[in-house]
Amino acid sequence: MMAGRLENKVAIVTGGADGIGRAISILYAQEGAKVCIADINDELAGQVVAEIASFGGKAMFAHTDISDPASIAAMVNQTVETLGEPQVLVNNAGFITFTDDPATLDRATWKKIFSVNLEGMWECSRAVLPFMRKAGEGVIVNLGSVHSFQIVGGHFPYAITKHGVIGLTRSLAVEYGPENIRVNALCPGMVETPTAMATWAAMDDPEGVRKAVGDLHPLRRNASCEEMAYPALFLATHESSFMTGQSLIVDGGRSAFYSD
Ligand SMILES: NC(=O)c1ccc[n+]([C@@H]2O[C@H](COP(=O)([O-])OP(=O)(O)OC[C@H]3O[C@@H](n4cnc5c(N)ncnc54)[C@H](O)[C@@H]3O)[C@@H](O)[C@H]2O)c1
């Protein structure tokens, strides 16, 4: 039997309990990685760990709020004790905001989204970097978005945090490239996560909305979570060994499409 593409690797996936992170956690485990699911949702994280165990994979759950550096430190310690020192970090946890008028946004929401979507990525990176530097190897995959490059009205300040993710990615790639630590961003178009589907289900015409959003992509549909897991696997393996500081845009052609 061929060895998995992440055999003997320890990977931390933030937000690994649901959506894109869940698919990445499962695929990484299928490819032989030992995976720590770092998430605030204990129930869903437990289900992912059980699913990974059902095919003989190895995973653990660490209750983690990535907006809290102490919580991140505890998670990394737990990972090292249980699975070993991490060589792979997927900074996936994040959330979106819908804001009609930026001027009405309250300060608490502004601070919260930056503390999760941007600072959280940096603090998780900071916490695993010592192990990567010691090992002389490491891979960090940050979840950007089509919102990392374009402003879609009504999502303030989500797009600002996602623009920042690209800056963080490029900065860390430059700073730590000489130590063989690669940092790239994965930038999805619309992905049909359970949360997205539930949001649409609460609307008047869920199928109409789903189709309208899908039609923004030249492939005329939205992505599945698994369609993000494969590019995230590529970015974590030797197959992308000369790639760092880049954004892998996996958006069904959405960013190539201009409509007036
Ligand atoms: N779904 C999309 O269409 C889409 C498109 C582009 C980019 N993204 C990005 O992909 C990433 C994953 O998105 P998703 O749609 O799969 O999200 P999701 O809401 O389906 O899942 C997010 C997971 O992160 C966890 N989480 C949230 N806040 C956390 C915190 N403070 N600490 C730890 N865990 C936390 C949640 O519990 C959940 O398990 C995000 O960074 C998002 O911005 C998503």
pLDDT at 259: 73
Query: CA-to-CA distance for 260 and 171, rounded, in angstroms?
Result: 34
Query: How do strand 247-250 and strand 88-91 relate by DSSP bridges?
Result: unpaired
Nearest CA among 81, 74, 88 for reference residue 35: 88
**Token pair listed for 195:** 């949360």
pLDDT digits (tens, 9 = 90+) for 201-215: 999 999 999 999 999
- Model confidence at 151, pLDDT cuts 50, 70, 90, reads very high
One of 28, 158, 176, 230 is an active-site residue; which one?
A: 158
- Cα-to-centroid distance, 1 and ligand 1 (Å): 34
What secondary structure letter does DSSP report for 207?
H
Identify the residues whose C-beta falls under 6 Å from ligand 1: 14-15, 17-21, 39-41, 44, 64-67, 92-96, 116, 143, 145, 188, 190-191, 193, 195-196
Predicted confidence at residue 257, as pLDDT, reads 85
Ligand 1 atom at minimum distance from 194 CA: 20
* CA 224 vs CA 142, 240, 258: distances in Å: 18, 22, 23
The position carrying tokens 């505890």 is 74
**Across 228-241, average pLDDT:** 98
Round the average pLDDT of the chain to a whole number and report it: 97
pLDDT in tens, 177-206: 999 999 999 999 999 999 999 999 999 999
pTM of the model: 0.98
Single-letter amino acid code for the residue at 226: E
pLDDT bracket for residue 1 (50, 70, 90): low
**Distant-in-sequence, close-in-space partners of 206: CB < 8 Å, separation ≥ 6:** 200
Percentage of the chain beyond pLDDT 70 is 100
* 158 has catalytic annotation: yes
pLDDT value, residue 3: 87
Give the integer Cα–Cα distance in Å for 210 and 214.
Answer: 6
Q: What is the mean pLDDT of residues 68-96?
A: 98
- For the cut 90, the answer to whether the pLDDT of residue 245 exceeds it is yes
The secondary structure of residue 259, as a DSSP letter, is -
Residue 164 token pair: 């920042």
